[in-house]
Amino acid sequence: MPFLTAGDPNIETTQAILKEIGSAGANLCEVGVPYSDPIADGPTIQASYQRALDNGFRLQHVFDMGAKLPADGMPLVTMVSYAIIFRTGLKQYVQQAKAAGYAGAIVPDLLVEEADEFAQVCRDADFSLIQLVTPTTPRERQVQIANSSSGFLYYVSVTGITGERVELPKDLTDNVQWLRSQTDLPICIGFGISGPETAAKLAPVSDGLIVGSAVVRRIAAAKDAAEATENVKSFVGELRQAIDNA
């Protein structure tokens, strides 16, 4: 389940990339809301957010972009700081996101102790609240996070920030299998997935794989919009094939 973090201030280009990601085999796409204070983002996504902010890309552009995409296309969710949701208003954020075609939100900095109100707003609106579990999250707390989440659980494969890695923790499979015994939610693994080889290793133990930095890097390296779109389409196709073969 490859994802894109929005880092291109050109809405038409980003829409084209999103369409190609869907046609290449992605089941869902994460669209990042640019934020000036990184939460768990590595240098690649931090830089993409800064480029977007410098070019005037804001929350309303994320909504505008979603609203212009076909309603029957690949589902989209936002990756957004709770500070932005809180400032917008809990109900207003969900209403605007749903009206723009988004199916949920990944909220990496929402503490489970403070999640009840927003979780209820999301449940009432049939809008998924996707929360993160990390390798250092105590197991009792993992269960609490799962109980207040909907849509799927985002399992962070490594401690630290987002980015591509060659090696992943040896206990990752065991940790995911334990969490699976505690919840009926799908579990998707993110952070550190660098390409088809990593995807093939993790596909048998996950319900989905989240790939951000590797996608954003290919966009940033392109000389123009056409090359960026082709780079991403080709990479997502390779990931899809590796997952299917595994």
| Active site (catalytic) residues | 30, 41
Residue spans per domain, the chain: 11-245
Q: Provide the pLDDT for residue 163.
A: 43
Digit-by-digit pLDDT tens for the chain (246 residues) are: 233 344 444 677 888 888 899 999 999 999 999 988 877 677 888 888 888 888 888 999 999 989 988 777 899 999 999 999 999 999 999 999 999 999 999 999 999 999 999 999 999 999 999 999 998 999 999 999 999 999 999 999 865 445 444 455 568 888 999 999 999 999 999 987 889 998 998 899 899 999 988 999 999 899 888 899 999 999 999 999 999 998
Superfamily name with CATH number, domain 11-245 = Aldolase class I (3.20.20.70)
Q: What is the chain written as a DSSP string?
A: --------S-HHHHHHHHHHHHHTT-S-EEEE---SS-SS--HHHHHHHHHHHHTT--HHHHHHHHHTS-TTS--EEEE--HHHHHHH-HHHHHHHHHHTTEEEEE-TT--GGG-HHHHHHHHHTT-EEE-EE-TTS-HHHHHHHHHH--S-EEEE-SSS-S-B-S---TTHHHHHHHHHTT-SS-EEEESB--SHHHHHHHGGG-SEEE--HHHHHHHHH-SSHHHHHHHHHHHHHHHHHHHHH-
- Say if CB 244 and CB 214 are below 8 A apart: no
Mention every residue, 6+ apart, whose C-beta is less than 8 A from residue 205: 172, 173, 176, 177, 189
